[in-house]
Amino acid sequence: QVQIVESGGGLVQPGGSLRLSCTTSGFQFSSYAMRWYRQAPGKERELVASITRFGASTNYTDSVKGRFTISRDNYKNTVYLQMNSLKPEDTAVYFCNAHGERRWGSFREYDYWGQGTQVTVSS
């Protein structure tokens, strides 16, 4: 059974830092790209950061570049999001997503989601 559990969210002051963790089990972690999404109240879900299977490549949405860092530990089946210099507009529920693709035989996509963790940056 696939399990994805985020932790590390909370209430912080502007300029503060948090590290989110996403622990996983039930699938071959190293075969999946990992992503962090966020969704603020009344807004569309946004892709924040992504990392390839072995961590060779990362991508970030413009609003977090230079402040957030995504990383993964394939020995622990865990993904992290280090968030520095937090701003009130970073307030959202943050979701961890595992994305896998099969390109042999019939094409198939796999997406597994965690329950989300709340990040609140007070102003």
The pLDDT of 91-102, averaged and rounded, is 96
* Mean pLDDT (the chain, rounded): 97
| CA pair distance 63, 83, nearest whole angstrom | 12
Beta bridge partners of residue 7, listed in sequence order: 21
Share of the chain above pLDDT 90, in %: 95
Q: How far is CA 101 from CA 51, 52, 97, 108, 110, in A?
A: 14, 12, 13, 6, 6
Closest CA to 12 of 123, 84, 120: 120
Beta bridge partners of residue 101, listed in sequence order: 109
Contact 119, 9 (CB under 8 A): yes
